[in-house]
Amino acid sequence: MSPISQASEKYFVNREHLGNKREWDEGDSDSYKTLSKEEMDALRHAKPGNFSSMNSWWVVLSQVAITLVIAVACYVFSGQADKSVYTYSALVGGLIGFLPSALFLMRIEAAKKSVKSSPGGFLAAVVSGEFIKILVTIVLFIGFALKQPDLKWIPLLVTYLATLKCYLLGWFWK
């Protein structure tokens, strides 16, 4: 008997053994435990590193910083005739990256300070903030493409993608 047929036979035997019940249908009562407020406070006190949060504005600040670093690199390493175009293109790419992020964060901050704060209201703020972020990104790309036809797309896209990668820095800073 081949190994494939043995594996398939084992699969069908196990499937018949389970019947209509699946392994995941049978919840193990020890798999989770609801903690009280006191237990959660004690856990936060015992392991503060697991519950730390960072200021999200640091991500936007890092996006601005990486934009400036790439713009300076474009200025230093580009040819004499194209210095301003490459630098400007890199700055535009960074702007397209960090401006929507800043708008999203302002939307979230406004929702946190809202008098009618509820989980549903905060979720609506996140969704609307993300919609604003996507809309502003598209409008900026189209607007700069139409109004500034002399932009160099390589430095623009490299800087834009670098600003998007700054979100990963939040995981490492935490």
Amino acid in position 24: W
Q: Name the average pLDDT for the chain.
A: 83
pLDDT at 24: 57
Cβ 144 vs Cβ 96: under 8 Å: yes
pLDDT digits (tens, 9 = 90+) for 48-97: 777 777 788 999 999 999 999 999 999 999 888 888 999 999 999 999 99
pLDDT at 14: 47
pLDDT at 71: 96
Token pair 């601005």 is at which residue? 64
Weakly modelled stretches of the chain, pLDDT under 70 = 1-31, 115, 174
From residue 89, how far is each of 102, 145, 154, 162 by CA, in Å? 20, 11, 8, 14
Cβ 101 vs Cβ 67: under 8 Å: no
From residue 111, how far is each of 107, 125, 133 by CA, in Å? 6, 6, 15
Token pair 């300070």 is at which residue? 113
Q: What is the DSSP letter of 6?
A: H
Q: What is the DSSP letter of 119?
A: H
SS3 of 22, please? Answer: coil
Where in the chain are the domains?
Answer: 57-173
pLDDT at 2: 54
pLDDT at 169: 79
SS3 of 86, please? Answer: helix
pLDDT at 25: 56
